[in-house]
Amino acid sequence: MTNKILFSGEKVLACIDGSSVSEYVCDYAAWIALTVDRQLKLLHTIEQNHGAAVSDYSGAIGLGSRQELLNELTQAENNRARLLLKQGQIMLSAAKQRVKSFGVEKIESYQHRGSLAESLVELEQDIRFMVIGIRGNSHESQAQNQGLGHQLESVIRSMHKPILVVNKAFSEPQSAMLAYDGSDSCKKALAMIASSRLFKKLPCHIVHVGDHGEQLLSEAVSVLQEAGIDTKSAQLEGSVVDALVNYQKQNYIEITLMGAFSHNRFVIF
């Protein structure tokens, strides 16, 4: 992935599915779109995995009633598809009103049949930044809403754009943290922070977990300071996840940028 691919595209994409975090996704997407002055695109996908039911039952139906029951099953699936389409349109309409209340004027909505990952691959060239919930509607039945949505990893692997993963109600971020190890993905994140209006007014903490990070931190700090961004650095020890989460909590950091998963709102590259 090149920086040209990473920074191409003009739209902020918000993925909604009716889950409890969809409203928060809209709020963060609206904040980003307003801050960077980009068009906001609302996406709702309709999975097509339910269509297999008709063929699954076809071999178990008696000869006398097979065609009649198949016709009923087909009609039921068609009705379900129409209801899902209508439900998605209602969600998109509500989402549009929500982002309008933030002051966003440049808005479009899109409904796509297929998996979320397939939809995103199709739209990727137009996307500048993507916002998604940490769990989808189908994942919310788990106890205490723990864990990550089952589609999230496939989405991250299929996309080559910055992704903001949301799991909390919106509050305008006042600081950010970059977990930096000198890898290509971290360098892309550093370049994005330095060049994007989204981070110009956010103090940024650059942290490294492990030994021998002084030179890496010094180089990264220089990049952001040259871009006029208020920057701090810290060398951390211990488990990567624990060190990052503890530092984030201790310093009241609201957005973490990294190349892997975290436990708060985070951006993935």
pLDDT of residue 27: 96
Q: Does residue 71 lie within any of the structural domains?
A: no
Q: In whole angstroms, what is the distance from residue 159 CA to residue 124 CA?
A: 7
Q: Does the pLDDT of residue 70 top 50, yes or no?
A: yes
Amino acid occupying residue 17: D
Neighbour-count burial for 111-121, b at 16+ CB within 10 Å, e otherwise = bbeebbbbbbe
Q: Does residue 77 lie within any of the structural domains?
A: no
Contact (CB, 8 A) for 257 and 267: yes
42-51, 121-130, 239-248, 249-258: which has the minimum mean pLDDT?
42-51
Q: At what angle do helices 22-36 and 66-101 cross, to 10 degrees?
A: 50
DSSP-derived secondary structure for 80-100: HHHHHHHHHHHHHHHHHHHHH
Number of independent structural domains in the chain: 1
Q: Does residue 76 lie within any of the structural domains?
A: no
pLDDT of residue 262: 44
- Quote the percentage of the chain above a pLDDT of 90: 46
Q: Does residue 194 lie within any of the structural domains?
A: yes
Radius of gyration of the chain, Cα coordinates, nearest whole angstrom: 22
Amino acid occupying residue 151: Q
Query: Helices H, strands E: what count in the chain?
Result: 9, 10
Q: Does the pLDDT of residue 216 top 50, yes or no?
A: yes
Q: Does the pLDDT of residue 11 top 60, yes or no?
A: yes
Contact (CB, 8 A) for 130 and 19: no
Beta bridge partners of 206: 178, 233
Q: Does residue 57 lie within any of the structural domains?
A: no
Q: Does residue 70 lie within any of the structural domains?
A: no
Phi-psi region of 212 (alpha: psi -120 to 50; beta: other; left: phi over 0): left
> Could you report the per-residue pLDDT of 158-214, keeping only the tens digit for each?
777 888 999 889 999 999 999 999 988 888 889 989 999 999 989 999 999 998 889
Q: In whole angstroms, what is the distance from residue 37 CA to residue 10 CA?
A: 9
9-13, 117-121, 208-212, 253-257: which has the minimum mean pLDDT?
117-121
Q: Which domain range does residue 261 map to?
A: 3-49+83-268
Give me the CATH number covering residue 9.
3.40.50.12370
Q: Does the pLDDT of residue 61 top 80, yes or no?
A: no
Q: Does the pLDDT of residue 134 top 90, yes or no?
A: no
Q: Does residue 45 lie within any of the structural domains?
A: yes
- Quote the percentage of the chain above a pLDDT of 70: 79
pLDDT of residue 8: 54
